[in-house]
Copies of this chain bind each other. A is one copy, B any other.
Amino acid sequence: MSKIKLSEISTGVPDNLKKKKAELKTIEMAIKIGQLQHKLYAERKQSLLVVLQGMDASGKDGTIKTTFADCNPTGIDTFGFKKPTSEEMAHDFLWRIHKRTPEHGNIMVFNRSHYEDILIQRVHKWIDFDRVEKRMKAINAFEKLLEFDNDTKVLKFYMHISPERQLEKLQERIDDPEKNWKHKAEDWEERKLWSEYMEAYEYAINQSDIPWHIVPCDKRWYRNYHISKIVLKALEDMHPEMPVLKEHDE
């Protein structure tokens, strides 16, 4: 399999797609996603794990709001992995992740994930490359476990944004009072390590057994359209079915 080079993949919008049309389609897809989520929840036999990874301001939060707009909150959870607590630090890196995996019938969206343990930790040299390799193998075994033993579909998205577009969005967070709450000084520091992050992402993407979806994220409307399309297709392929009462259940 040929290796993915992120610098060779566009962060922009394909020529043949119109914004208005895509936005309408995204709303229609959100409705269908909601309908399938209802069936998944009623069936209680499978689950969906969505992993969102990307640089700051690539749009992880916005995507969740748009793609899952029509889901019943009872059957969907999101979890944002931040700096580990001291209890989490006293366990292996997958300990806090495994606890949050979705149960039958549910969708779980990870806003950042176990991949941070081979991204930020590698870029800042908190771990050596030997540990990165061992963790990568552990991740592959872990994701396979979810699939074969719990019928969990694992959908992973790399939110592909250009450094120029990120700069605009980080600046907006300073200039626009409505967006001030999103501003974090660290984001400007992490930005300086862009090429190290790209290298770490490429490794994670190329070494993963379960393939990643690379999502061009410079335009919000295209990012949402692209992700919703993949989520909808995945849910359709799972064929969740409403359980039907059998005679002896009546």
Question: Which residues of A does B touch, CB under 8 Å?
Answer: 44, 87, 90-95, 98-99, 101, 103-105, 131, 134-135, 137-138, 141-142, 144-146, 148-150, 152
Contact A138 B145 (CB under 8 A): yes
CB distance from A140 to the nearest CB of B (A): 8
Minimum-distance CB pairs A-B, first 4: A141-B141, A90-B103, A92-B149, A92-B150
Contacts of A105 in B (CB 8 A): 90
Show 9 residue pairs from A and B whose CB-CB distance is below 8 angstroms, ordered by the A residue: A90-B104, A91-B101, A91-B104, A92-B101, A95-B150, A99-B99, A131-B148, A138-B141, A138-B144
Which residues of chain B are within 8 angstroms of A131 by Cβ–Cβ distance?
A: 148-149
Chain B, Cβ-Cβ closest to A105: B90
Write out the residue numbers on chain B whose beta carbons fall within 8 Å of the beta carbon of A93: 149
Asked if A95 meets B92 with Cβ closer than 8 Å, knowing A134-B148, A138-B145, A149-B131, the reply is: no
Copies assembled:
2
Task: Write the nearest CB–CB distance from A165 to chain B, whole angstroms.
Answer: 35
Residues of B with C-beta under 8 A to A135: 149
Q: Which residue from B92, B103, B144 sits with its C-beta under 8 Å from A91? A: B103
Given the complex of chains A and B, what is the CA–CA distance between A92 and B149 in angstroms? 5
- Beyond A90-B104, A92-B152, A138-B145, 11 additional contacts (C-beta under 8 Å) are A87-B103, A91-B101, A91-B103, A92-B146, A94-B98, A94-B145, A98-B99, A131-B148, A134-B144, A134-B148, A138-B144
Say whether, besides A87-B103, A99-B99, A103-B87, A145 and B92 are in contact (CB < 8 Å). yes
CA distance A207 to B68 in the complex (A): 43
- A142 to B98, alpha carbons, bound, how many Å? 11
